[in-house]
Amino acid sequence: MGVLLLLSLVLITISFRQPTTGALHGVQGAGATVLRPFEVGAERLARPFQDVYGYFRGLVHAKRENKQLRSDLDRARQQLIQFESAYRDNLKFRDLLKYIDGPRFPSDYSPVPARIISRPESEFDQQVVISAGSNNGIAQDTPVVTQDGLVGRVTNLNGSAARVTLITDDESAVQAMDQRTGAIGLVRVGQGQGQLILDRVGKDANVLVGDVIVTAGTRSKQYPSLFPRGIQIGQVISVGQTDTAPYKAIQIQSYVNFGSLDSVIALVTKKHVPVAP
């Protein structure tokens, strides 16, 4: 082995000093040609062992991943059991207290899918017309959503069509809350076209970037339109405040892509909606 190692070093040294057209390179080329079948044979011989190694390596990784997934599944099952228990307790306590609740989303609503048949004529017009109306059970202030989130409410209708004012309209305001903290505010259009903000949130509220904003399900005299509680609106993308402003400056990104709306879902309530005094 020592002799072979020494011979290899000598050949490498000579190879660097010889021109590429020298005799030594010719001998090397011939040697490589002769040894090529042995190299191919060695590769073929080693390939099954490499495949076996790769198989067992993947098997170990799969077992580790399977263990992690089982752990996640067990944790999810435990959470589901806790949620189901809390839900049953909630129903029992509501019955004992004779609790009167407003319509809840989605259990107290029937979905009415409809296509948008008329789009805004300009970027300043934030209303669309849908192909369903009072003949389909839709009424004034009926909430309109998509699978992604809140779109707006019905503000005018006839038997076969309804006009929907989007939440990006200047006159629109939706009582909403931070799903994580329960902080209440108003979702309305901001300074930029189509930009949404969560207004009227006090400085003591711990609203963070990434928080999910949903409808609060409340009704007031100033903003009488009622949306069921829990419809997702968007996600907080920035939070700021100044010493002079009484509220936080919270900007949210809507989950709905209003530029590509093609169809929506009108939520027809199956429960009486109480009117605010």
The backbone torsions φ and ψ at residue 88, rounded to the nearest 5 degrees and listed phi first, read: -65, -40
Say which residues have a Cβ less than 8 Å from residue 8's Cβ, sequence separation at least 6: none
Q: What is the pTM of this model?
A: 0.61
Q: How far apart are CA 51 and CA 53, in angstroms?
A: 5
The answer to whether the beta carbons of residues 57 and 64 sit under 8 Å apart is: no
* Cis, bond preceding 48 (omega within 30 deg of 0): no
Instruction: Label residue 93 exposed, middle or buried (CB < 10 Å: 0-12, 13-18, 19+).
Output: exposed
Q: Are 120 and 131 in contact (CB under 8 A)?
A: no
In tens, the pLDDT along 192-217 reads 656 899 999 999 999 999 999 999 88
Q: How far apart, in Å, are the Cα atoms of 165 and each of 41, 154, 194, 237, 266?
A: 74, 6, 13, 24, 12
CA distance 28 to 26: 5
Among 268, 196, 273, 191, which residue's Cα sits nearest to residue 232? 196
* pLDDT tens per residue across span 222-275: 544 468 888 999 999 999 988 888 899 999 999 999 988 999 999 998 765 444
